[in-house]
């Protein structure tokens, strides 16, 4: 009963001073809206990144050759020499076919297939006066399966394309839009030239795949760079690189513990590179990368939200200030209530409830504004809006906390007023 009466008194007080109450809420509204906006955008980005990385295969292991950290000779005076003397990769530094064959013999039950690529560089595909930005990438049959491309017209690579290192290509529908006006069927069988490092190479289009946005594309359709796939051997002859691989993907079988196999694979390659002074092989899992990425994005969102929450502190101080003014204006009212038998606790609760209602109303308006701004920002950046339920619950709870925390001092001051002096107050 006491609580319901205090709520009624609080609402009556807000109605009496609508403008003052609205201005008091602005700080709370802005603070809560900022937090909800940031958390919504962060959650949407996180969901987009997670979805994109999961589509790459959570059971994939990336194997790559990297430089060893070389610690040079340390002299008696503490100076270090020999840093940075990394030679360029030689034939003995690459992952060889023999290594991969032994790897499959040792762990055949854990490896579904091996996918590897060869980057031939970025360039421009040309058809008459039309152009499109491309990354020319050589792929083997394993990578073809790993990519899981949706073929809209034509076909994917076949074993014969790989064996003969044919000059054929599978291109995106965005490239077809830019070069052939969007007619994917007419594009299949057409010859397209690609300019890489001021040299032109001709390829016959055998297939068109559906381009899927990664969620990070802010450019117009004409400026987006898409993958221009060619057979692995064709890319090798283009780059004039020797036998072997600098990077590949191990696609594990269903039910394989990728974390355990990752350690086993790394130990396997360490045997081959133990005597290599300059290079080593690292093995990473998509699951680990996904976990690291999501943790980083969540940390950034929380950090920015804390900074935005500073405005809540300002709003809380504004609430305290208004409550102190309100107490001064209502000194006689407090004196009358005390003379009629109101206890210090009931007076204190009345003003705390007023403070809480101000902050709660401001918080609810801030949540609605934050959801609208966050969803709009996410949609503008090309992400699917994903509001944070935890952020909304936190915002409501924090609004109540702000009301109690910053309302307690004014409420306590009101409760301690001497009723006789309060009644004399003009």
Q: Find, among 362, 385, 355, the residue nearest to 311 by Cα.
A: 362
- Predicted pLDDT at 144: 77
Alpha-carbon torsion 6, 8, 13, 19, what sign?
Answer: positive
Tell me 253's DSSP state.
P
As beta bridge partners, residue 208 has: 153, 171
As beta bridge partners, residue 73 has: 81
Q: Find, among 293, 317, 333, the residue nearest to 414 by Cα.
A: 333
pLDDT per residue over 222-261, tens digit each?
Answer: 778 999 999 998 998 888 777 788 888 888 887 788 888 8
How far is the C-alpha of 22 from the C-alpha of 15, rounded, in Å? 10
Alpha helices for 381-418 (secondary structure H): 389-415
As beta bridge partners, residue 332 has: none
SS3 381: coil
Q: Which two tokens stand for residue 222?
A: 């004409």
Mean pLDDT computed over every residue of the chain? 79
DSSP-assigned letters across all residues of 167-224: SEEEEEHHHHHHHHTT-HHHHTT-EEEEEETTEEEEEEEEEEE-----S---S-TTT-
| Residues 183 and 176 sit within 8 Å (Cβ to Cβ) | yes
| pLDDT greater than 50 at residue 83 | no
Clarify whether residues 151 and 120 are in a common domain: yes
| Residues 188 and 206 sit within 8 Å (Cβ to Cβ) | yes
Clarify whether residues 269 and 356 are in a common domain: no
Residue with tokens 């421009």: 124
Rg of the chain in Å (alpha carbons): 33
Alpha-carbon torsion 365, 357, 308, 367, what sign?
Answer: negative
| pLDDT greater than 90 at residue 124 | yes
Pairing of strands 191-196, 111-127: antiparallel
pLDDT per residue over 13-69, tens digit each?
Answer: 667 677 777 777 787 888 888 888 887 887 777 666 665 554 555 668 888 888 886
Give residue 208's region: left, alpha or beta (phi > 0; psi -120 to 50).
beta
- Boundary-marking domain end, from 286, 307, 337: 286
Clarify whether residues 71 and 203 are in a common domain: yes
**What are the Cα distances from residue 267, in Å, to 144, 208, 345, 360?**
28, 40, 70, 58
**What are the Cα distances from residue 59, in Å, to 260, 287, 424?**
12, 7, 79
Tell me 329's DSSP state.
H
Query: 420 is in which domain, residue-wise?
Result: 2-53+294-424
Clarify whether residues 46 and 144 are in a common domain: no
Neighbouring residues of 275: CB distance < 8 A, sequence distance ≥ 6: none
Burial of 128: CB neighbours in 10 Å, binned 0-12, 13-18, 19+: exposed
Clarify whether residues 220 and 354 are in a common domain: no
How far is the C-alpha of 95 from the C-alpha of 90, rounded, in Å? 11
How far is the C-alpha of 237 from the C-alpha of 166, rounded, in Å? 11
Clarify whether residues 163 and 231 are in a common domain: yes
For the chain, give the number of residues. Answer: 426
- Boundary-marking domain end, from 286, 312, 340: 286
SS3 152: strand
pLDDT band at 202 (very low <50, low <70, confident <90, very high): very high
Interval 203-224 mean pLDDT:
76
Clarify whether residues 325 and 397 are in a common domain: yes
DSSP-assigned letters across all residues of 58-95: TTEEEEEEEEPPPP-EEPTTS-EE-TT-PPPP-GGGSB
| Residues 385 and 48 sit within 8 Å (Cβ to Cβ) | no
Which segment of 98-112, 357-371, 387-401 scores lowest on mean pLDDT? 387-401
The pTM of this model reads 0.55
Clarify whether residues 269 and 320 are in a common domain: no
SS3 121: strand
How far is the C-alpha of 200 from the C-alpha of 241, rounded, in Å? 19
Interval 119-130 mean pLDDT:
90
DSSP-assigned letters across all residues of 226-295: EEEEEEHHHHHHHHT--SSBSEEEEEEPTT--HHHHHHHHHHHHHHHHTT-SSEEEEEEEHHHHHHHHHH
How far is the C-alpha of 161 from the C-alpha of 183, rounded, in Å? 24
Provide the number of structural domains found in the chain: 2
**What are the Cα distances from residue 100, in Å, to 94, 142, 300?**
11, 13, 40
- Predicted pLDDT at 78: 45
Clarify whether residues 278 and 299 are in a common domain: no
Clarify whether residues 91 and 208 are in a common domain: yes
Clarify whether residues 279 and 299 are in a common domain: no
Clarify whether residues 110 and 220 are in a common domain: yes
- Boundary-marking domain end, from 260, 286, 312: 286
As beta bridge partners, residue 248 has: 63, 116
């Amino acid at each position: 009963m006491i609580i319901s009466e205090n709520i009624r008194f609080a609402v009556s007080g807000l109605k009496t001073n609508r403008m003052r109450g609205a201005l008091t809420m602005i700080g709370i509204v802005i603070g809560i809206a900022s937090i909800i906006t940031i958390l919504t955008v962060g959650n949407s980005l996180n969901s987009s990144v997670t979805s994109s990385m999961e589509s790459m295969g959570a059971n994939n292991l990336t194997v790559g050759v990297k430089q060893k950290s070389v610690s040079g000779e340390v002299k008696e005076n503490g100076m270090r020499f020999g840093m940075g003397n990394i030679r360029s990769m030689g034939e003995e530094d690459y992952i060889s076919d023999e290594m991969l064959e032994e790897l499959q013999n040792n762990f055949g039950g854990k490896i579904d297939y091996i996918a590897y690529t060869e980057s031939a560089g970025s360039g421009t595909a040309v058809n008459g006066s039309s152009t499109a930005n491309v990354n020319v990438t050589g792929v083997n049959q394993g990578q073809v399966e790993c990519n899981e491309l949706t073929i809209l017209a034509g076909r994917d690579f076949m074993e014969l394309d790989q064996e003969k290192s044919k000059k054929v290509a599978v291109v995106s529908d965005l490239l077809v839009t830019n070069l052939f006006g969007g007619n994917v069927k007419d594009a299949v069988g057409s010859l397209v030239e690609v300019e890489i490092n001021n040299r032109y190479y001709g390829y016959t289009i055998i297939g068109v795949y559906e381009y899927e946005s990664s969620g990070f594309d802010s450019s117009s359709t004409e400026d987006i760079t898409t993958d221009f796939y060619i057979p692995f051997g064709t890319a090798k002859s283009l780059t004039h690189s020797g036998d072997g691989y600098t990077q590949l993907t191990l696609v594990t079988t269903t039910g394989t513990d990728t974390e355990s196999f990752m350690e086993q694979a790394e130990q396997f390659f360490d045997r081959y590179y133990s005597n290599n002074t300059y290079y080593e092989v690292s093995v990473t899992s998509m699951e680990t990368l996904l976990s690291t990425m999501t943790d980083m994005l969540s940390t950034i969102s929380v950090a920015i939200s804390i900074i935005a929450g500073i405005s809540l502190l300002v709003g809380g101080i504004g609430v305290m200030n208004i409550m102190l003014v309100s107490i001064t204006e209502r000194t006689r009212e407090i004196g009358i209530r005390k003379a009629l038998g109101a206890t210090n606790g009931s007076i204190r609760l009345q003003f705390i409830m007023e403070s809480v209602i101000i902050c709660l109303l401001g918080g609810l308006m801030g949540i609605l504004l934050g959801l609208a701004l966050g969803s709009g920002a996410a949609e503008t950046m090309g992400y699917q809006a994903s509001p944070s339920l935890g952020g909304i619950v936190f915002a409501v709870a924090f609004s109540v906390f702000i009301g109690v925390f910053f309302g307690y001092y004014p409420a306590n001051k009101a409760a301690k007023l001497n009723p006789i002096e309060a009644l004399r107050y003009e």
